[in-house]
Structure 1
């Protein structure tokens, strides 16, 4: 998604949740500096995703059921949204790509990175401390932002870790995108949620973005969930 097309959606999110564009931009610049010598190019994702079948794995309550489906379809590329990394590792499944703003299990994130997962690290105004803490521990990083891209930090669209995974797979031409454990509620199966109501509002914002993406995506969009997202078919 082009930045000019994405930015109006970001402005709506910023207004709804009270985020600061200036702080988001500051975080993007900070991440750019941190990964200057170890930044991955987007072509790494192009190679992994173009024309491929992809699982997007979230940490919603249904993720346990989704694990069985993932194990039956081993050829799929596995993109994990932050909190889902722990679920995969506990079930001896290695994520190929991890999309994270670093609020998940730090040990699980580091383990996935050491196992070879492409770490797509997102910078925003509220995670500066975690960027400074965890980014130095990753050997290679592909940076993302929700505001203006800067050197080595890209904007592929999306708001929460989960919907950013889908935007990422779509951006790089995945053939089929299947969401697993993406329940769009206020609960997570693998971490305590301090403010379930706020979490639910964020998930609903992410869901709206996916419904928008579904209208223009050239990928086949599917999901494993009892809560359908408009534009996604059942897998």
Structure 2
């Protein structure tokens, strides 16, 4: 998705949640400087994703019940959304890619990277201190932003870690995208993040993420599937029990 196409969606999100475009841009610039000497090129992710079947793994309530399915399909590209990383690591599954804004357990994120996961780190106005503290501890990073892209920091579209995974996989040419543990309802999975201080805000963000995925489904070049009981509109239900 071109930045000019994404920006009106971002502006609506900014107005709804009261974000600052200027501070989001500051975060992108800081992230760019932090990863200048260790940034991954976009082609690294393209080679990983293009033409492949990808599992987008979220931290929803159903994730524990999907572990067997994930292990059965280990050859698929496994993209973990932030808090889902803990459940995967605890079940001896190494994600190929972790998409994170750094609000989950840093020790788990570092363990995933050490095991071989590519870290895709998102910068926004609320995590500037986390960027400064944690990004230097990673070896190789690809950065993302929700505002104007800068050097080594890309804008694939998307808002929450989960839907941003999907936007990224679609943009980089995934053949199939399968959502696993990606519930966008009122219930919040226990693995979602360490501490949720504002449950209603989290729910509102999930609803926005769902709307964005419904929009993406209308224009996606990938085949889209959802293993949840109530699939997102535009995604084909996939039975993960067999």
Using the size of structure 1 for normalisation, the TM-score is 0.98
The residue that corresponds to 1:31 in the other structure is 31
The residue that corresponds to 1:188 in the other structure is 189
The residue that corresponds to 1:125 in the other structure is 125
1:19-78 per-residue CA deviation (whole Å, 9 max, x = no partner) reads 000000000000011001000011011000001000000001111012111011111100
User: Please, which of 203, 207, 211 is the counterpart of residue 210 of structure 2?
Assistant: 207
> Which ranges of structure 2 fall in alignment gaps of 5 or more residues?
none
The residue that corresponds to 1:224 in the other structure is 227
Deviation at 1:188, TM superposition (A): 2.3
Distance 1:178 1:77 in 2: 10
User: 1:210 aligns to what SS in structure 2?
Assistant: helix
Deviation at 1:227, TM superposition (A): 2.4
Distance 2:205 2:66 in 1: 22
Alignment RMSD:
0.8
143-152 or 62-71, which moves further after superposition?
Answer: 62-71
The residue that corresponds to 2:101 in the other structure is 101
1:1-20 per-residue CA deviation (whole Å, 9 max, x = no partner) reads 11000000000000000000
Moved over 3 A (4+): none
Does the 8 A contact of 1:58 with 1:181 survive in 2? yes
Name the count of aligned residue pairs: 235
The 5 Å alignment of 1:14-163 reads 14-163=14-163
Distance 2:230 2:26 in 1: 36
> Which ranges of structure 1 fall in alignment gaps of 5 or more residues?
none
1:93-131 per-residue CA deviation (whole Å, 9 max, x = no partner) reads 000000000001111100011111110000000001110
Using the size of structure 2 for normalisation, the TM-score is 0.95
1:155-179 per-residue CA deviation (whole Å, 9 max, x = no partner) reads 0000000000000100111011000
Distance 2:37 2:195 in 1: 34
